[in-house]
Structure 1
Amino acid sequence: MADWWRGGVIYQVYPRSFQDTNGDGVGDLPGILRRLDHIASLGVDCIWLSPITQSPQEDMGYDVSNYIDVDPLFGTMEDFDSLIERAHTLGLKVIMDQVVSHTSDQHPWFRESRLSRDNARADWYVWADPLPDGSPPNNWPAVFGGRAWEWNPTRGQYYLHNFLASQPDLNFHNGEVQDAVLDIMRFWLERGVDGFRLDTVNYYFHDKKLRSNPPNKRDEHLPYAVNPYDMQEHKYSKSQPENVAFLKRVRTLLDEFPGTTSVGEVGDSHRAVELMAEYTSGGDKLHMCYSFEFLGPDFTAKHFRSRVEGFYRESKDGWPCWSFSNHDVPRHITRWAPHSLDAADLGRQAVALMLSLKGSVCLYQGEELGLPETDLIFEELTDPRGIRFWPEDKGRDGCRTPMPWDEGEAPNGFTTGTPWLPIKPPQSLLNVAIQDADENSMLAFYRAILAWRRTHPVLSHGDIDFLKTQEPILAFRRTGPDADMLCVFNLSPEPHELKLTAEGAALDPISRNATLQDGKLEFGPNGYAFITLTDGKVKLN
């Protein structure tokens, strides 16, 4: 089906931490192949592979040195082909990360570009002369700390790096760069992938005039940020209007390969929902976008409603991809723990909410086990961001620790060697083997609710309308040609009750910690209700 992605469920695999088969402590492609049946058993539609291409691994693969070959750390191109073939046999699509806003400084393109101001790739990266006092051309900071400009004495210029100094930014104002990036995508599409997740998709273009960013408006009671990057409004260093034209070129390429898709990561704290809508509207740009709107600490009805309504207010025909966890943020079981007394209640409510929003869904490996964030000490860190900003920001390693597969002590079947990050007891005890044998486990629930969602197409494709409710109650209605469902969530550990006025209302058995009797809807902690409606009128108070 050409639009399988619309309302589809994507499962993110972080290869380093999924399954190791050679004992080096790092997951690999044969390991993913070995565990494909687990992914298929969940009932998802697609796998997203985090970076597997060649890299010095200074940012765990998000610093690419060769875009068209597999890093030996993960295996071979033959392993990749076998993985694609087996996944397709199981009915799973496969999309892969494309990290093209920047490369590694070990990439041949950059090695050539840095040699002189007049070589064939001199303008493939963002170079700028110093100011008269020798300082960088503007005030742009790097996401991982420090200035976004690194001095190159050979050229006598600075180059731009939005992340690490070893991750120089490509210059998308150069048409040859765009052509080269599209050639890379074509290579993988011809190899059989079903599309791409586009890393930092709004970072491709910078302001040609290199104007300095204005300060970010901050709460006067918060005089500083842990990371100076958060002290600016990134008006000129990213999210530039030229990006739209390039995304149209990406879509034109993808349209040559029917059934493929794209999902862009929008990293922008000021205009995330607006950019998501802009980048997916009109049917001639990206298929889907996600942002960090639901990847932070906010867990209120107002927050969820405002972001979803905001997206569809900006675009009637765009399409979002919602996620609650990924490889860049603390796991939501831990992040939202203050809003629950029981991690299991919170985990079930979270996936129920995500699967009932209008849009597609991205699950991060380990969510199906209810894994919490791993508590690491400084000596165990590998993430450059965490190392730089410790202890106020512990970085991203806590959500990247390996999957626990087998019973017993760590590393729980992940590797026969020493894992690159430790598996600690709270994660070890939630291993797949134990949960496979327990019909009441989180894993069993994920399988059940994903199967249930497939029997209710209105949740994948229907319209969404929010009802007026008071905190902590979130309520919305999903409607389609043949179905009408009310979805209500108690986003708190306290019990709540509501009066429901609706003819023919019936509580679906998948509901949890909720009862409906004589027009009274009662919720226990983190309870939620899916209610089928047979009459057009519904009221909650």
Structure 2
Amino acid sequence: MTTSQTIAAEWWRGSVIYQVYPRSFQDTTGDGVGDLKGVTERLAHIASLGADAIWLSPFFTSPMADMGYDVSNYCDVDPMFGTLADFDAMLNEAHRLGLKVIIDQVISHTSDQHPWFRESRFSRDNAKADWYVWAEPKKDGTAPNNWLAVFGGPAWEWDGVRRQYYMHNFLGSQPDLNFHNPEVQAALLEAMRFWLDRGVDGFRLDTVNYYFHDAKLRDNPPHVPDPEATGFDAPESNPYGMQAHLHDKTQPENIAFLQRVRALLDLYPDRTSIGEVGDGDRSLKTVADYTSGGDKLHMCYTFDLLGPDFTAQHIRRCVENFQKAVTDGWVCWAFSNHDVERHVSRFIAAPEERDPVAKLAITLLATLCGSICLYQGEELGLPEAELAFQDLRDPYGIRFWPAFKGRDGCRTPMPWQAGAPHAEFSVGTPWLPVPEEHARLAVDAQEALAGSVLNHYRRTLAFRKAHPVLRDGDMTFVKSHKDILAFTREKDGESLLFVFNLTRKPAAFSLPKDMADCEAVSLPGFAPALDGGVAKLGPLDAFCGRLM
């Protein structure tokens, strides 16, 4: 392939992916829940940011016990979101605007309402009896082992018909599929083929390291924290983090299945895959295993940057750990998604820091080596919504309230118009309330403000596109004070230096002697002084220079 053909085929490398949470993006029916027609109506906003692709959270048929992450039909659209025709129209409009479309694949488990599970639980000898993880109780009637569910309690649910336990890593109504059964793998690959034939550009694979379990059902040992690790499995209020999850996920058999997924994707031009890896201390090793060799996943993301730490030391440790662990794979970085508290709330110490932190965060994210994922509303600098217990819909938050408030605070509806009822998300009552603070930050309120967070996102992503070195150039850290993050990006003769002051006080960075011939480059939203080889930065400031 020519260079241009390679870049087109590897459009995902260094891409900007915008996550759409459909039930909270735009409602067109007045039922208070976003839908696919609403996504289509708002695609122009995403394109205006400079995104390359959208990642669409689940819209499949589901009883919605876990907001669509409990699928009961992999090959249809839930009526709540519309129809297959609505999906096709959305896909066509996205492609017309130059946006790729990545859809979620939630295949580690199904809903207990899926026909496969209904048949499986009916008896021990039916055609799908072994499609899920069933196990005998211990002699005293208790669960087969000590495995825990992410959403609380044991990872086992008793079924009175089969008189066995079935495994569930999340809700009891989300039984785990048995990937040791080749028929299960084949059925899931056919479901993926259905969407590839329809024209989707790739898959985001939910909980990609949860597919296989230890066939011997061995107990997990206690977790011994690694002080150098940056990943995490669960909030401290959840005992799930007290185990080292050696046997209930991240099994070696998963490698061969991911190779089958890649082989399927390779039958279709220019497709991609991105895996969600939640593996605590082992996350980066798992990413290395799943993205190396060019025959498994194209890229993965972890939870390493989805915690509360927004410091130079933490970010450098995360990136360096990735560089050491993953020598020929690819990463997708993000500060926010639908599962964690919005990052401006995690990172700020006072409300007045919201805009400066939001702007610095996207500038930093856009200059890291890797693809990046944005979560809807972060381009407005939306903080985490404070919700009353009676407003919660997330079973995870309801289970662990008040120690952990769940994920609803980052899932509230997108605010489009400041003065409209429910910020123009819906003419009906939204499934989650729209906070007044969010309405004031609506898209229309920020459009005309040159210095708004929204317009800063647009300028920053344009800067990223204008410098091809930021797509896939090498990244090397430069020695600096612990409060300063400094690195270069280099490719094809272009070399850019980036310096970030993540503190709340002025800082100075003395350029190394071999960087004396440095020319300041205009970095959107920032104007630090370069004086005699010293970059003088204000609080929450950034500098860019071209190395000659």
Tell me the TM-score range normalised by the shorter chain. Answer: over 0.9
* 2:437 is the alignment partner of 1:426: yes
Q: CA deviation at 1:365?
A: 0.4
* 2:484 is the alignment partner of 1:440: no
Q: CA deviation at 1:408?
A: 1.0
Cα distance in 1 for partners of 2:491, 2:356 equals 29
SS in 1 for 2:528: strand
CA-to-partner distance for each residue in 1:144-194, whole Å, 9 max, x for gaps?
A: 001000001111100000000000000001110000110000000000100
Which of 500, 505, 511 lines up with 2:518 in the alignment?
A: 505
Which of 115, 118, 125 lines up with 1:111 in the alignment?
A: 118
SS in 1 for 2:540: strand
Instruction: Give the equivalent residue in structure 2 for 1:387.
Output: 398
Instruction: Give the equivalent residue in structure 1 for 2:333.
Output: 322
Q: CA deviation at 1:399?
A: 0.2
Instruction: Give the equivalent residue in structure 2 for 1:80.
Output: 87
Cα distance in 2 for partners of 1:491, 1:302 equals 10
Which of 23, 41, 49 lines up with 1:34 in the alignment?
A: 41
SS in 1 for 2:374: strand
Cα distance in 1 for partners of 2:537, 2:382 equals 25
Instruction: Give the equivalent residue in structure 1 for 2:205.
Output: 198
Matched ranges for 1:51-450 at <5 A: 51-217=58-224, 225-338=236-349, 342-408=353-419, 410-450=421-461
CA-to-partner distance for each residue in 1:318-359, whole Å, 9 max, x for gaps?
A: 000001000000000000113995111101110011111110
Cα distance in 2 for partners of 1:186, 1:72 equals 22
In structure 1, give the amino acid aligned to 2:540.
N
Cα distance in 2 for partners of 1:410, 1:363 equals 26
CA-to-partner distance for each residue in 1:231-283, whole Å, 9 max, x for gaps?
A: 11111110111111100000000000111100000011111111112111110
SS in 1 for 2:281: coil
Q: CA deviation at 1:73?
A: 0.1
Instruction: Give the equivalent residue in structure 2 for 1:539.
Output: none
Contact kept? 1:386, 1:394, Cα under 8 Å: yes
Cα distance in 2 for partners of 1:516, 1:203 equals 49
Which of 509, 526, 534 lines up with 2:540 in the alignment?
A: 526
Cα distance in 1 for partners of 2:417, 2:96 equals 26
Cα distance in 1 for partners of 2:298, 2:146 equals 34
SS in 2 for 1:285: coil
CA-to-partner distance for each residue in 1:79-122, whole Å, 9 max, x for gaps?
A: 00000111101100001000000000000000000011111000
Percent identical among aligned pairs is: 60
Contact kept? 1:405, 1:432, Cα under 8 Å: yes
Contact kept? 2:284, 2:326, Cα under 8 Å: no
SS in 2 for 1:393: coil
SS in 2 for 1:296: coil
Deviating more after overlay: 489-498 vs 110-119? 489-498
Cα distance in 2 for partners of 1:184, 1:65 equals 12
Cα distance in 2 for partners of 1:339, 1:425 equals 18
CA-to-partner distance for each residue in 1:515-535, whole Å, 9 max, x for gaps?
A: 21221211111111111111x
Contact kept? 2:131, 2:177, Cα under 8 Å: yes
Instruction: Give the equivalent residue in structure 2 for 1:538.
Output: none
In structure 1, give the amino acid aligned to 2:138.
L
* 2:493 is the alignment partner of 1:475: no
Cα distance in 1 for partners of 2:519, 2:66 equals 50
Deviating more after overlay: 408-417 vs 101-110? 408-417
Alpha carbons of structure 1 residues 415 and 341: separation in structure 2 relative to 1, 3 Å: closer
In structure 2, give the amino acid aligned to 1:469.
S
TM value normalised by structure 1 = 0.96
Cα distance in 2 for partners of 1:161, 1:410 equals 40
In structure 2, give the amino acid aligned to 1:67.
Y
Number of residue equivalences: 531
SS in 2 for 1:353: helix
In structure 1, give the amino acid aligned to 2:537.
F
In structure 2, give the amino acid aligned to 1:520.
V
Contact kept? 1:513, 1:525, Cα under 8 Å: no
Cα distance in 1 for partners of 2:509, 2:493 equals 27
SS in 2 for 1:289: strand
Cα distance in 2 for partners of 1:118, 1:335 equals 51
SS in 1 for 2:219: coil
Cα distance in 1 for partners of 2:204, 2:448 equals 34
Alpha carbons of structure 1 residues 340 and 438: separation in structure 2 relative to 1, 3 Å: closer
* 2:530 is the alignment partner of 1:516: yes
Contact kept? 2:60, 2:73, Cα under 8 Å: yes
Q: CA deviation at 1:373?
A: 0.4
Instruction: Give the equivalent residue in structure 1 for 2:20.
Output: 13
TM value normalised by structure 2 = 0.95
Cα distance in 1 for partners of 2:226, 2:113 equals 41
Q: CA deviation at 1:392?
A: 1.0
In structure 1, give the amino acid aligned to 2:246.
K
Cα distance in 1 for partners of 2:350, 2:212 equals 39
Contact kept? 1:515, 1:523, Cα under 8 Å: yes
Q: CA deviation at 1:302?
A: 2.1
In structure 2, give the amino acid aligned to 1:506.
E
Q: CA deviation at 1:471?
A: 2.0
Contact kept? 2:516, 2:533, Cα under 8 Å: no
Contact kept? 1:46, 1:92, Cα under 8 Å: yes
SS in 2 for 1:450: helix
